[in-house]
Amino acid sequence: MVSISRTKAISNSGARQVGKTWVVRNLAQSNHKKLIELNFEKKPELSSLFISNDPKQIILNLSAIFGEINASNAILFLDEIQAAPEILAKLRWFAEDLPELPVLAAGSLLEFVLEQHSFSMPVGRINYMHLEPLSFQEFLAAKNETGLIDYIKNYNFDITMPTIIHSKLTDFFKEYIIVGGMPQAVQSWITQNSLSAISQIHNDLLATYRDDFNKYNGRLAIERLDEVLLSIPFYLGQKFIYSKVNSEMQSATIKQALELICKARICHKILGSAGNGVPLAAEIQAKYLKLIFLDVGLCSTLLGLSFDQLTIRELNLINKGGISEQVVGQLLRTIAAAYVEPALYYWHRNEKGASAEIDYLIQYQTKVVPIEVKAGSTGGLKSLHLFMGLKQLELAVRINADLPSKTPVSVKDHAGNLVQYTLVSIPYYLMSELLRILK
């Protein structure tokens, strides 16, 4: 939960319909604060209330429209601020001259506006928060499965997990793959339990994202953006090659379309990294790029998946295991603090006769930890053994459908050298506890 005692303004970023507005409204309600909510997309004329640089004058202007405002007992919410981006520059004055008033801003496609802004941004005066679709644990909370949440939060390797709990959590995770984490879809699933309703919501959300293409300032033909957007779910878990999207289009055009879609947070990059140490971003391998979609439920809709087609142990049969990498990447983006912008990395080696790939790399404390995603409960670990030997690491993670385990590994690599490390295996539904479990 965001603290409302901060003296800095807070900018809440995320894709459309991930719940940015709901979070602020809930924050005000739970803290018994008066919410002054302005939506600059619906009412662009509201921006005239901010003509002054004096926060106290702005509050007087707002009071004339919204009634008396007590700065210490209110929250100012500037929604869809991308429609009035010049107001962002004024937030520094709130931080300096009226710190008792919490100010929160949210906007879709805000990155496009900031890229072209000509005003001075209030550097050091804004805290940035990043909102993702609901995690699996939040999905359980929405279903009021508090007992299972408590079990997940308290699980450790000293506990022998009963198979009935494992089966129940696995079944719920199967739901999560189809429903996803978009709040509207989750709410509909809880109240209606209708797959057709979920499908309609997902398709409506996808249509909303595609409608937004008209707002990208004519930078690229809508057809190209649409083409790239719809291709992403079909290349999950694979190196993204521009020519596969459309062999007749120049790679630069496809790349530009992809950059725009990433800025809108509809998809996310998984960047290749050499993985020799932290930070992982210091050794980016630019020619290696994979992608995941915003939400696994939206992916499932685009791929035409339904419950009767899906078992957790057969995810590797669906899009060559791409859905399993999608959901793990999506959940990895939720395990860091909200003020840390999520980033995803992987490792690829393309040497003749010794190619290998690690699905994800994360930083745990001061070390690199590789993560292998195995859709079922079995699967070879040849690439992982090679990576652990090359990097001389002690800890690795496997995400699969089996019961959790911690196993010492001792194998010989292709050169006959001994490779030893500890392998932590956890099922998908424990992803939210990954950092705690690694302790």
Give the separation between CA 33 and CA 54, rounded to whole angstroms: 23
In this structure, the number of other CB atoms found within 10 A of the CB of residue 380 comes to: 9
Write down the pTM of the prediction.
0.89
Residues whose CB is less than 8 angstroms from the CB of residue 371 and which lie 6 or more positions away in sequence, other chains included: 328, 332, 358, 359, 360, 361, 362, 396, 397, 398, 399
- 3-state SS of 172-220 is HHHHHHHHCCCHHHHHHHHHHCCHHHHHHHHHHHHHHHHHHHHHCCCCC
> Percent of the chain beyond pLDDT 70?
88
Kindly list the distances between the CA atom of residue 218 and the CA atoms of 3, 142, 200, in Å, as whole numbers in the listed order.
Answer: 39, 39, 29
Determine what percent of the chain is predicted with pLDDT higher than 90: 60
The per-residue pLDDT for 124 is 60
Higher-pLDDT residue of 96, 132: 132
108 against 434, higher pLDDT: 434
- pLDDT per position as a tens digit, 358-392: 999 999 989 999 999 986 555 579 899 999 999 99
**Residue 92 binned pLDDT confidence (cut-offs 50, 70, 90):** confident
Residue 316 pLDDT: 47
Nearest-angstrom CA–CA distance, 260 and 212: 11
Of 76-85, 182-191, 427-436, least confident by mean pLDDT is 76-85
Number of residues assigned to the chain: 439
- Please say if the pLDDT value at position 315 is more than 90: no
Distance CA 79, CA 104 (A): 8
Domain extent listing, the chain: 9-130, 137-352
CA distance 132 to 404: 26
Q: Is there a contact between 135 and 432 (Cβ–Cβ < 8 Å)? A: yes
Rg of the chain over all Cα atoms, to the nearest angstrom: 23
- Of the candidate ranges 18-32, 111-125, 240-254, the one whose mean pLDDT is the lowest: 111-125
Tokens in use for 42? 């619906």
On the question of a cis peptide bond just before residue 99, with omega within 30 degrees of 0, the verdict is no
Average pLDDT on 214-227 reads 74
| Beta-carbon count within 10 A of 130 CB | 19
Cα-based angle 353, 355, 356 (whole degrees, multiple of 5)? 145
- 370's torsion region: left (phi>0), alpha (psi -120 to 50) or beta? beta
Model confidence band, residue 321 (pLDDT cutoffs 50, 70, 90): low
How much is the average pLDDT of 39-64? 94
* 10 neighbors 99 (Cβ within 8 angstroms): no
The whole-number pLDDT of residue 115 equals: 62
Task: Please calculate the CA angle 399-324-12 and round it to the nearest 5 degrees.
Answer: 95
What does the mean pLDDT of the chain come to? 87
The SS3 assignment for 370 reads strand
CATH number of 9-130: 3.40.50.300
DSSP string over 52-104:
SS-HHHHHHHHHHHH----GGGEEEEEETGGGSGGGGGGHHHHHHH-TTS-EE
What string of DSSP letters covers 298-338? HHHHHHT--GGG--GGGGGGSGGGHHHHHHHHHHHTTSS-T
**The pLDDT value given to residue 308:** 56
Contact 330, 207 (CB under 8 A): no
Check if the beta carbon of residue 431 is closer than 8 Å to that of residue 335.
Answer: yes
Q: How many CB atoms lie within 10 A of CB 289?
A: 19
